[in-house]
Amino acid sequence: MILMSGKDCSNYIKEEIKKELNNINNKLKLVVIRVGEDAASKVYINSKKKACESFNIDFEEIVYPDNITDDILINKINELNNDTKVTGILLQLPIPNHLNKDKIINTIDYKKDVDGLTTINIGKLNNNEKSIIPCTALGIINMLKYYEVNLEGSNVVIVGRSNLVGKPLIPLLLKNNATVTVCHSKTKDLKSHLLNADIIICAVGKKHLITKDMVNSGAVIIDVGINRIDGKLYGDVDFDNVKDIASKITPVPGGVGVMTVTSLISNIIECYKLQM
């Protein structure tokens, strides 16, 4: 079994990022907008801030209270769209339910949309055009490539259909000639689909949803899930048992999560290039 380390793959990508940054004379800047005091969001933003600092990219966090209105957020984003010092804009999710999430996200100029969540970037991705790719999906594809996992002709089963992970993986995997199945909360008999998979990518958020009996011997497992229980992190896959039959598997923590933050830096550079 090969442990697919997010850190090792990330270190490789970081070298590529450094080379790219050497060719950029201007200072890059990321602005993160946070609404409310969600504890997990604060942790994620902190790791984004650290990553930016390590590459000498300016970082600013703008914080609004829970009861903020759509209009205030939209006006702020328009201001940031027009600010030539700002390379990338990220709306930290989740935001409170009373806000119009789609409208707010789509106010972000697609050239500054470091999360790749605007309809323009999603459309471009699905149309095989150059686009900003959602960070986690990009990190997963880079990891599969780094660990030389064959995608062409492989049966890939994605579990979870979110805009952040499951859905953007579909065009990315199809582009690499994989056969793609997407399972979700309404899927009947998840196990039968999983037993047909050469590669499983699980992004659900349920501790140990995937157990050893649901996995083919020799399958490649990418565990995206982050489940914080009594201060400890677990994936969606029962790692301790599944690792015995998988050919390659990501750990939690130390797998996909590390890649997501590195992909953000790659996306800031991609945004910069789009704006040139």
Q: Is 83 helix (H, G, I), strand (E, B) or coil?
A: coil
Q: Which of 263, 252, 251, 218 is nearest to 47 (CA)?
A: 263
Max CA pair span of the chain: 54
Binding piece for ligand NAD, criterion CB under 6 A, among 50-58, 109-117, 163-171, 265-273: 163-171
Name the minimum Å distance from CB 40 to ligand NAD.
8
Q: Is 229 helix (H, G, I), strand (E, B) or coil?
A: strand
Give the one residue of 47, 100, 162, 179 binding ligand NAD; rule: CB under 6 A.
162
Query: For 12, phi and psi rounded to 5 degrees?
Result: -65, -50
Residue number, 189 or 240, with CB nearest to ligand NAD: 189
Name the minimum Å distance from CB 1 to ligand NAD.
20
Residue number, 119 or 185, with CB nearest to ligand NAD: 185
Name the minimum Å distance from CB 234 to ligand NAD.
9
The packing angle between helices 166-175 and 119-126, to 10°, is 30
DSSP 230-262: TTEEE-SB-HHHHTTT-SEE--SSSSHHHHHHH
Give the one residue of 118, 136, 176, 267 binding ligand NAD; rule: CB under 6 A.
136
48 counts as catalytic: yes
Kind and range of the H or E element at 5?
A: none
Q: Residue 227 corresponds to which tokens in the numbers above?
A: 């489940």
Name the minimum Å distance from CB 221 to ligand NAD.
14
Q: Which of 209, 262, 265, 268 is nearest to 238 (CA)?
A: 209
Name the minimum Å distance from CB 190 to ligand NAD.
5
Question: Judged by CB under 6 A, how many residues of this single chain contact ligand NAD?
Answer: 25
Give the one residue of 13, 190, 194, 215 binding ligand NAD; rule: CB under 6 A.
190
DSSP designation for 128: T
Binding to ligand NAD, residues 201-240 (CB under 6 A): 203-206, 209, 224-227
**In the sheet where 58-64 sits, what is the strand order?**
58-64, 29-35, 88-91
* Residue 187 in the binding site for ligand NAD (CB under 6 A): yes
CB 237 within 8 Å of CB 208: yes
Cα 226 from Cα 11, distance rounded (Å) = 22
Residue number, 78 or 185, with CB nearest to ligand NAD: 185
Name the minimum Å distance from CB 135 to ligand NAD.
7
Q: Residue 236 corresponds to which tokens in the numbers above?
A: 């969606």
Give the one residue of 116, 171, 251, 257 binding ligand NAD; rule: CB under 6 A.
257
Residue number, nearest CB to ligand NAD: 205
* Residue 87 in the binding site for ligand NAD (CB under 6 A): no
Active-site residues, by number, are 48, 92, 115
Residues of the shown chain interacting with ligand NAD in the complex, contacts defined by CB under 6 A: 136, 159-162, 164-166, 183-185, 187, 190, 203-206, 209, 224-227, 256-257, 260
